[in-house]
Amino acid sequence: MSTLSRKVDLNMAIKIINAMIIYANDNELLPGSYAVVDEGGHVVAFERRDEAPAATADIAIDKAWTAATMKASGRILEIISKGQGWRLNVKHKGRLTIIPGAVPIIANARVIGGVGHSGGSAEDDLKIAQAGWTAIFREEGFNAEVEERLSLARKIAKEAIEEVNNRKLKPVTVAVVDEWGHPTLIYRVDGAPFGTLELARDKAWTAAAFKTLSENVSSLYSNMINATNWNERLTPIPGGVPFMYNNKFAGAIGIAGNMPEEDKNLAMDVIKKVGLELLG
């Protein structure tokens, strides 16, 4: 008997993202950011296309968060809040994103997660997000062709997940950021606590921001940085590794889920396995 999953797992999230990318390509819509979150609103998978504006990343994630935690579509929230939804943004540090393109994932008569898309008009964002969640009702798989940078990030993530299994490590979150520290991909492996999510992303950000291993940041800049607490993303602990692509600094990878040293070794090995060079 064919059944629907009762929760959003990584496979489902990746399927949803692929379906969204295919829909966007088929309809010649602008490339954007694609986010899938679980019931609690925490990212399970996130991807940003090469040509998508960097700022769409958090908009997509926050749309998905809004749909899952409000258990309603952005389109409905927009209407019931009579266009005044932005006033709610004194709450949740501005995360509430009451704009179409935020669609709850409903299965077995329950909201089990959310889908968010950002990058086009509100109308297009909604249609793409709908194409995403309806894909869980399709038997067939979806494989979208993606651009160079995203496809590299996918390779890194795939390799990292394989290595986690080979080394029998605890499930992790893998984050890949571009040279500016903006996320291009985040995958949270089934079983990884949601706390690893921001940790992985922030390790990658730290490595990209200082173009060095994340743990070096404290010593390089002495303890000044920690003391000033100048940026909430700053995470100078092992697990953030910057990499080169085509002899150029191209971004960083952040892994979280195990002991920091293990995360770091994993990240460094993955970079080599994929054929990239470490920075510096």
Partner 1 sequence: MEKYDVVIVGGGIAGLSVARELSKYKVSTLVIEKNEGFGKEMTASNMTLVCQGADSLTFRHGTLHAELNIKSIPLWPKYAEELGIPFKKIGGLGLIRDRIDFFRFMKMYSRAFKSSLKGEESYYIPKGSFEPLQFLDKKTLKDLEPYSNPKIQGALYDPNLAVTDPVKLAVALAENAKANGVEFLLKNEVKKIMREDEYFTIMTNETSVKGSFVVNASGINADRLAEMVKARDFSYIPVKGVLTDFDEDTSEVFKHQAFYLPSLGEPHIKAVVPLIYGGLRVGIHLSFTLRSDKEIPLGAVDHNLGVIKSIAPGYPFEKHIKKTFFGIMPLTNAETGWHDFVVDIPPHVPRWINIVLGPAGVSSSPMLGKKVVELLSTSGLEMEPNPRFSSSAKGGVKG
Q: How many residues bind partner 1 (CB under 8 A)?
A: 26
By the rule CB under 8 A, 76 interacts with partner 1: yes
In the set 9, 16, 23, 101, which binds partner 1 (CB under 8 A)? 23
By the rule CB under 8 A, 244 interacts with partner 1: no
By the rule CB under 8 A, 28 interacts with partner 1: yes
By the rule CB under 8 A, 134 interacts with partner 1: yes
By the rule CB under 8 A, 241 interacts with partner 1: no
Q: Which residue has the tokens 């770091």?
A: 264
Q: Per-residue x/- marks for partner 1, 46-65, CB under 8 A?
A: --------------------
**Inter-residue contact 186 to 174 (CB < 8 Å):** yes
Amino acid at 88: L
By the rule CB under 8 A, 98 interacts with partner 1: no
Amino acid at 64: A
Cα 2 to Cα 11: distance, rounded to the nearest angstrom: 16
Structure tokens at 7: 């929760």
Biggest CA–CA distance in the chain, Å, is 60
Candidate ranges 103-111, 163-171, 198-206, 251-259; the one touching partner 1 (CB under 8 A) = 103-111
Cα 208 to Cα 229: distance, rounded to the nearest angstrom: 18
By the rule CB under 8 A, 80 interacts with partner 1: no
Structure tokens at 217: 């940041």
CA nearest 15: which of 34, 1, 30?
34
By the rule CB under 8 A, 131 interacts with partner 1: yes
In the set 133, 205, 210, 243, which binds partner 1 (CB under 8 A)? 133
Let me know the angle formed at the C-alpha of 94 by 179 and 204, rounded to the nearest 5 degrees: 25
Q: Which residues bind partner 1 (CB under 8 A)?
A: 1-4, 23, 25-28, 73, 75-76, 103-104, 106-109, 127, 130-131, 133-134, 137-139
